[in-house]
Chains A and B, each alone.
Chain A
Amino acid sequence: MPGKLIIPAATRRRILKTGTALGGLALAPLGFVRGAWAEEGPLGTFPVKGDTVKFGFCVPQTGAYADEGADELRAYQLAVKHLNEGGGVLETLKPSKLTGQGVLGKKVDYVTGDTQTNPDAARTAAQRMIERDGVIMFSGGSSSAVAIAQQYLAQEKSVVFMCALTHSNDTTGKDRRRYGFRHFFNAYMSGVALGPILAEDYGKDRRAYHLTADYTWGHTQYDSMKQATEKQGWTTVNNIMTPLGSTDYSQFLTAVLNSDADVLVLNHYGKDMVNSLTQASQFGMRDIDKNGKKMQIVVPLYSELMAKGAGDNIEGVLGTANFNEKLDDAGSQAFIKTFTDEYGFPPSQAAHTAYVQTLLYANACETAGTFYPPEVIKALEGFECEGIGPGKALYRAEDHQNFHDILVVKGKAPSERKDQYDLLEIVKHVPRAEIEYPADTFPGELGPYKPA
């Protein structure tokens, strides 16, 4: 049904475009704008009035993921600065239509909100941005539950949502939405990347015990890690769901100690992971032998901020990451350098994805020649670029998941660290081809470009 509705519109537009292009070279740019306006009626917060365009940045300022939120916000502010004044990744992104003088001739402005790491509060904050501030796009994270709730809101309101920190398979799987895009990798990719390395380092006959944050991200990461490790011959002993934002994990850790498991997998993130890993160390799990092997802890999703919070406990702990401040490709370096110059310390992966998402959205607007959401979405779908990180990154049209190289990382011992930010070492650079999967692995539907 939607297909039938869309094709004639696209055709009409193409005819219109062709017509305008034939109209004359000198008038062509003007013609494009006019042509666009003629067809594109008001939708969501479109059209943008005045000479500034507003983005909404919705990050957790309170709750379990507040540290990630603060870093995201720094990255968003930097992205806006670069969009208006040039610099940073604008110089490495290819193909790029970004001018460094705003977007489509309008200066970029932004508003912020607090998601409180809570889907309801996040929706309220986003709604404020859409209704009162008229943002043309909103972006943010973390917590996949928050991202998914906002994605539905985005679809409802016809305002594009650029997901930042969300790692659940559901975000671009069962809950994928036409108005939502995710640059960050997901739990499935973590499993595929991490599985072989775990088997290599710890052996193929390990018994794993999972502690999992009880919401969409935790659930899908547990599934993906279970699948990936069992493929390597591991046994899954048990899994306990722990409430998001728990501070005391002793009851769960006692259960782990009393079992015959010799690997503990912590499907936790943010402050949850800092707490559970620290407490696991206090329980002596880093120094005991189980089944004649040294007990190991795995944190499938790792971040610099968590490593900082968990301190010396991260030594030798393996995990995956979307980005690391030691990457040496031109795009990563451009970002790392400008971020460090601005704030005095290197960015986290949360900051990287937030920054990149803002730029990719802005670039899509320039490419489409309009802020009209369906056209911007079409410009993002299937968009492949380089210069935002290692290798080429592709926005898959079928599920709005971005595919790019990811990293397997390991916590550094205190003695190996050069400075207080030197916490993780890159164990393996996992190329995009290894972590790609068919779009129908997780069934879901994007929904229409335009509300019926």
Chain B
Amino acid sequence: MGRSPFAADLIAVGLFAAVVLTMPVWIVWIGGYEALATKIVIWAVFALGFDILLGFTGYLSFGHAAFFGTAAYTTGLCLKHLSADILPAFFITGGVSLVVAFVIGLLTLRRSGIYFSILTLAFAEMLHAAALSILQAYTGGDNGLTMHTKPELLGIRMEGLNVFYLAAIVAILGFFAARQIKRSPFGLMLRAIKENAMRLEYTGVNVWAYKMAAYMISAMYASLAGFLMVVLEPYVATKFLHWSTSGEVVIMSVIGGVNTLIGPMIGAAFMLYFENVIQAFIGEQWRLVLGLVFVLIVIFLPGGFVDGFNRIRRAVGLGGRERHHNVPDAPAPVRENRGDRAARQPGE
């Protein structure tokens, strides 16, 4: 393609912005409603950040609820006790999340693979248990953190569409930043970690620092989502810290398509749409149906929705991209060496 990468980014982000900003309009056509649109965008931010860690470095964190939940509680406590303005809450939440991410990262990033997943899960569960026990006086325990506050931003009441546009702007900027990261030398390093961390280490690169940076960026996306969640609804549920929240974001990423940035966001939209709109049609058995959908996607479409979309494009001869299991844009000779199917089909 003749376009410069930056122009491609602008087009992609522009398209994304167009879809997101008009969401309150089109979601109503398909049986949704405004607050659902806001929730979808918030979860999209969460899933997007998750893909920076999972998609780029291949580190599967099973404890991202720790950041989502901690941010939500911090924001909630700030709004409840400090000020109804969301700006102080924003900065305090940012600070707290950085510290939490750094500490958990410090302790978990020494391991990789399943050990890393289990460690992150353990930390998230510890925070969840703490919120329900020793911190119950502050978190409200199982009741969740309830408050009478009506959040505002510089005097503007944050409700309805105001929250939506705030979340949408965060999502669009977040998407733009993620694409920049993906294309940058830093992003290349992250993908090199996924390919072979040990080899990278031997070339003298401080792998740990890169992993830590990716982990913290990802955690900040999760925190932003947690923050927005409380701005949308001044209420914090203990579920925000629960492992099922971590699990949900993993599932969203997988059904959307890991390492595609847009995929996990589509996954988030699908999950929330299913849980809130389709659920009402199915009734009691909706979880069963949702489980079935996951199974079908993982078996027949391991690359998620994005892979499905590309398969359709290829089928109709538009030349969609093949699914890359590892380094996404490795040069052709590398792919040839590895025996990628894409490289073996020059005629395509």
Q: Which residues of A contact B (CB under 8 A)?
A: 61-62, 66, 70, 111-114, 118-121, 123-125, 127-128, 131-132, 144-145, 148-149, 152-153, 155-156, 170, 175, 214-216, 243-244, 447
Contacts and interface: CB of A to CB of B under 8 A. Distances in A.
B239 A120 contact: yes
Contacts of A120: 144, 237, 239-240
Contacts of B147: 152
Contacts of B33: 127-128, 131-132
Q: Max chain B CB contacts within 10 Å: which of A132, A175, A214?
A: A132
Interface stretch (B220-228, B263-271, B279-287): B279-287
B233 interface: yes
Nearest to A241: B133
Given A124-B39, A131-B34, A152-B235, A214 B142 contact: yes
Looking at chain B's contact residues, is the secondary structure mostly helix, strand, loop, or mixed?
helix
B212 interface: no
Interface string B284-312: 10110000000000000000000000000
Contact of A244 (B142, B144, B148, B279): B142
A352 B151 CA distance: 38
17 contacts: A61-B283, A62-B287, A70-B284, A119-B143, A119-B235, A121-B239, A127-B33, A127-B233, A128-B33, A131-B36, A148-B143, A149-B144, A149-B235, A156-B233, A175-B143, A214-B132, A244-B142
5 A-B pairs with the lowest CB-CB distances in the bound complex, closest first: A215-B142, A120-B237, A132-B33, A131-B33, A120-B239
A123 B36 contact: no
Contacts of B277: 128
Contacts of A61: 283-284
B187 to A, nearest CB: 34
A132 B144 contact: no
Contacts of A112: 280
A86 to B, nearest CB: 28
A215 B234 CA distance: 20
Contacts of A152: 146-148, 235
A124 B146 contact: no
A61 B34 CA distance: 25
Given A61-B284, A118-B239, A120-B239, A127 B143 contact: no
Contact of A145 (B39, B142, B150, B276): B142
Contact of B148 (A113, A121, A149, A447): A447
Contacts of A243: 132
A62 B39 CA distance: 22
Nearest to B272: A124
B328 interface: no
B35 interface: yes
Given A114-B286, A123-B235, A145 B32 contact: no
Given A132-B32, A145-B143, A244-B142, A113 B280 contact: yes
A155 B275 CA distance: 24
A152 B32 CA distance: 23
Given A118-B237, A153-B235, A128 B276 contact: yes
A331 to B, nearest CB: 30
A175 B235 contact: no
B141 interface: yes
A120 B284 CA distance: 18
A123 B284 contact: no
A216 B233 contact: no
A152 B36 CA distance: 19
Interface string B130-174: 001000000001111011101000000000000000000000000
Contacts of B36: 128, 131-132
B279 A114 contact: yes
Looking at chain A's contact residues, is the secondary structure mostly helix, strand, loop, or mixed?
helix
B239 A149 contact: no
Interface in B1-58: 28, 31-36, 39
Nearest to A116: B287
Nearest to A133: B33
B235 A127 contact: no
Contacts of B279: 113-114
A416 B146 CA distance: 47
A144 B140 CA distance: 13
A148 B31 CA distance: 28
A111 B276 CA distance: 13
A244 to B, nearest CB: 7
Nearest to A69: B284
Q: Max chain B CB contacts within 10 Å: which of A120, A127, A447?
A: A120
B232 to A, nearest CB: 10
B182 to A, nearest CB: 32
A70 B143 CA distance: 23
Contacts of B234: 156
Nearest to B160: A131
Contacts of B235: 119, 123, 149, 152-153
B225 to A, nearest CB: 14
A137 to B, nearest CB: 18
Contact of A62 (B32, B240, B284): B284
B297 to A, nearest CB: 22
A214 B148 CA distance: 24
Contacts of A216: 141-143
Contacts of A124: 39, 275-276
B239 A215 contact: no
Contacts of A215: 141-143
A149 B132 contact: no
A149 B147 CA distance: 10
Contacts of A111: 280
Given A61-B283, A118-B239, A124-B276, A170 B35 contact: no
Contacts of B144: 119-120, 145, 149
Contacts of B28: 132
A70 B32 CA distance: 25
Given A62-B284, A127-B35, A175 B276 contact: no
A144 to B, nearest CB: 8
Nearest to B144: A119
A125 B31 CA distance: 14
Nearest to A143: B142
Nearest to B233: A123
Given A128-B33, A144-B143, A148-B146, 18 more contacts: A62-B284, A70-B284, A111-B280, A119-B235, A119-B237, A124-B275, A128-B35, A128-B36, A128-B276, A128-B277, A131-B35, A145-B142, A149-B146, A152-B146, A170-B143, A215-B141, A216-B141, A216-B143
